[in-house]
C-alpha cells in the first residue's frame, strides 16, 4: 500500500524553529522529526511513500534522497501553492494506484497500530477510515462522533461542554479508497476535515479508535512534551533502545569532563563537550557538537546541534535552536525559544515564552523578561 505524508505546511505555531527549517526536519531527539514517521510506516510493512510538500522542500529531499538509506522508496511532489490536506493528496493522484492508500499528517508522533487501522478499514469495506484518539480537553479540538459499528456519525468543531458526547478526535491518519480522489477538486485548496469527510458521512466513513500514544508536535509545548515522552519511554521509538536501563543515551563519542553531572533521563549528541561543574538533566536533549560550559544547568530543555552555553548559563523548560550561543550567566526559562544561530550575550533573562528570531544578536544584559 502507498502512503502519502503531508509535509507542506508552514508550521507557523512552531516558529521561530520553522522559519529556516521545515517542521518535518525539526529534530526530535536529534533526528529529523519525519524520520520517526518513516520508521513507523516501515514497521507496518509500508515502504512506498510520497512526500506531499510545499514549504521549504529542498532540505527534506537533500536529507532523505530516494529513501534507500532508511529502507523505503520515496517520491517527492512539490505544490506551487498550498492546496490544503485533501488538495495536496489530489495533487499526487498520479502516484496512487487503484485500491486503498494511506494519508498521514507529517507532524504526529504516534505508535498507532497502522496494520490494525488497515484491517479495520478492510473488514468494514469502508470508503475511508479515520484513526481516532481520545483527548483530555475535547473543547480544544474537532470531535468525531461514531456509532455502534464505528461508523462516523458527524463532526463537532471546537464544541462547548454541553455539546460534548465524545472525546475522540481525528488523529491525522487515514486509509482511503482511491475513489475518494474523485471527490476532491483539483488545483484549489481543499481539506479532508472540512471538505471530504463531512461529505462521506453515511457513505462508508468509519473511525478506528485506539489508546495509542499520540502527540501532534506542532506547538513548542507539545514539541517539548514529545521529547519528555521519548526520554521517559512513554512512547517506543528507535531511540528507546539507546536509552536502555539507565535512561542515558549518548549518540557517539562525547567529552564529559571530570566533575560534569549527567542526571537522567538525558540524550546527548556526538562530539558534545560538557565541562566540569555543568549539570545536564534531568529531561534534557543536547544536540551533537555543543559545548556546555562550567556551571551551566540544562533541564527540561532541548539544545539543538552546535550550540554553545557559556559559563553558568541556565536553560530550563526551553528550546535553543541550532548554532545559537547563550552568554555567561544568562537564564533561559519558562518556554523560551532562541532561534538558530542567535547570539545571546551574558546576563540576560529570557522567560515567559519569549521567542528570539534566528540570527539575532542580543547584547549582554539587555533583556530581563
Ligand atoms: P501551523 O501553521 O502551525 O498550523 O502548522 P501546519 O502548517 O503544519 O498546519 P497543520 O498542523 O494544520 O497541518 C497538518 C499537516 O498537514 C502538517 O503535516 C502539514 O505539513 C500538512 N499540511 C497542511 N497544509 C498543507 C498543504 O497545503 N499542503 C501540504 N502538502 N501539506 C499541508
The answer to which of 116-120, 153-157, 220-224, 251-255 has the lowest mean pLDDT is 153-157
84 lines ligand 1 (CB under 6 A): yes
Other CB atoms within a 10 A radius of the CB of residue 162 amount to: 6
8 lines ligand 1 (CB under 6 A): yes
Confidence (pLDDT) at 157: 78
Instruction: Give the DSSP letter string of 212-254.
Output: --EEE--SHHHHHHHHHHHHTTSS--TTHHHHTTTTEEEES--
Residue closest by Cα to atom 9 of ligand 1: 9
Query: Band of the pLDDT at 221, cuts 50, 70, 90?
Result: very high
297 lines ligand 1 (CB under 6 A): no
24 lines ligand 1 (CB under 6 A): no
Burial class of residue 106 in the structure, from the number of CB atoms within 10 Å of its CB (0-12 exposed, 13-18 middle, 19+ buried) = buried
Beta partners for residue 351, in sequence order: none
Strands 261-262 and 214-216: unpaired
CATH class entry, domain 242-362: mainly beta
Cα torsion 216, 188, 103, 11 to 10°: value is -20
Atom of ligand 1 nearest to the CA of 7: 20
What is the distance between the alpha carbons of residues 141 and 144, in angstroms, rounded to a whole number?
10
What is the distance between the alpha carbons of residues 185 and 191, in angstroms, rounded to a whole number?
10
Confidence (pLDDT) at 164: 82
Residue 33 φ/ψ, nearest 5 degrees? -50, -45
Residue closest by Cα to atom 26 of ligand 1: 84
Please write the tens of the pLDDT for every residue from 97-147: 889 999 999 999 999 999 999 999 999 999 999 999 999 888 878 899 999
Mean pLDDT taken over the chain? 95
Q: Which fold has domain 2-220?
A: Spore Coat Polysaccharide Biosynthesis Protein SpsA; Chain A (3.90.550)
Question: pTM value?
Answer: 0.94
pLDDT at 158 over 80: no
How far does residue 276's CA lie from ligand 1's centre (Å)? Answer: 43
How far does residue 62's CA lie from ligand 1's centre (Å)? Answer: 20
Please write the tens of the pLDDT for every residue from 260-318: 999 999 999 999 999 999 999 999 999 999 999 999 999 999 999 999 999 999 999 99
pLDDT at 4 over 80: yes
Domains of the chain, residue spans: 2-220, 242-362
Confidence (pLDDT) at 277: 95
Cα torsion 190, 165, 139, 158 to 10°: value is 30
pLDDT at 159 over 80: no
Query: Band of the pLDDT at 85, cuts 50, 70, 90?
Result: very high
* Residue 255 CA neighbour count, 13 Å, CB half: 10
How far does residue 281's CA lie from ligand 1's centre (Å)? Answer: 32
Confidence (pLDDT) at 212: 94
Confidence (pLDDT) at 139: 81
92 lines ligand 1 (CB under 6 A): no
Percent of the chain with pLDDT over 70: 100
Please write the tens of the pLDDT for every residue from 190-210: 999 999 999 999 999 999 999
Residue closest by Cα to atom 7 of ligand 1: 9
4 lines ligand 1 (CB under 6 A): no
Confidence (pLDDT) at 160: 78
Amino acid at each position: 500500500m502507498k502512503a502519502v505524508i503531508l509535509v507542506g505546511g508552514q508550521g507557523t505555531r512552531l516558529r521561530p524553529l520553522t522559519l529556516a527549517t521545515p517542521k518535518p526536519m525539526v529534530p526530535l531527539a536529534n533526528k529529523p522529526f519525519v524520520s520517526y514517521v518513516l520508521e513507523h510506516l516501515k514497521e507496518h510493512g509500508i515502504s512506498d511513500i510520497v512526500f506531499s510538500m510545499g514549504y521549504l522542500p529542498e532540505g527534506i529531499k537533500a536529507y532523505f534522497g530516494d529513501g534507500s538509506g532508511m529502507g523505503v522508496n520515496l517520491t517527492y511532489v512539490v505544490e506551487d501553492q498550498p492546496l490544503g490536506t485533501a488538495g495536496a493528496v489530489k495533487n499526487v493522484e498520479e502516484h496512487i494506484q487503484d485500491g486503498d492508500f494511506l494519508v498521514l499528517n507529517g507532524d504526529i508522533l504516534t505508535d498507532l497500530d497502522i496494520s490494525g487501522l488497515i484491517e479495520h478499514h478492510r473488514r468494514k469495506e469502508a470508503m475511508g477510515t479515520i484513526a481516532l484518539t481520545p483527548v483530555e480537553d475535547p473543547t480544544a479540538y474537532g470531535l468525531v462522533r461514531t456509532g455502534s459499528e464505528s461508523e462516523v456519525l458527524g463532526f463537532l468543531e471546537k464544541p462547548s461542554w454541553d455539546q460534548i458526547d465524545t472525546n475522540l478526535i481525528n488523529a491525522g491518519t487515514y486509509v482511503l479508497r482511491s475513489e475518494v480522489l474523485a471527490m476532491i477538486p483539483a488545483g484549489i485548496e481543499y481539506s479532508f476535515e472540512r471538505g471530504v469527510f463531512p461529505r462521506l458521512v453515511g457513505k462508508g466513513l468509519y473511525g478506528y479508535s485506539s489508546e495509542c500514544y499520540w502527540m501532534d508536535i506542532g506547538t513548542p509545548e507539545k514539541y517539548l512534551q514529545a521529547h519528555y515522552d521519548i526520554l521517559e519511554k512513554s512512547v517506543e521509538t528507535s531511540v528507546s533502545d539507546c536509552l536502555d536501563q539507565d535512561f542515558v543515551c549518548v549518540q557517539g563519542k562525547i567529552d564529559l569532563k571530570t566533575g560534569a553531572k549527567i542526571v537522567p533521563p538525558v540524550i546527548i549528541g556526538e562530539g558534545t563537550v560538557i565541562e566540569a561543574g555543568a549539570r545536564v538533566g534531568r529531561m534534557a536533549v543536547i544536540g551533537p557538537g555543543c559545548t556546555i560550559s562550567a556551571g551551566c544547568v540544562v533541564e527540561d530543555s532541548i539544545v539543538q546541534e552546535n550550540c554553545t552555553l557559556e559559563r553558568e548559563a541556565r536553560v530550563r523548560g526551553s528550546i535553543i535552536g541550532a548554532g545559537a550561543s547563550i552568554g555567561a550567566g544568562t537564564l533561559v526559562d519558562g518556554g523560551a525559544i532562541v532561534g538558530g544561530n542567535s547570539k545571546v550575550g551574558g546576563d540576560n533573562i529570557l522567560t515567559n515564552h519569549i521567542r528570539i528570531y534566528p540570527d539575532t544578536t542580543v547584547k549582554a544584559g539587555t533583556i530581563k523578561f
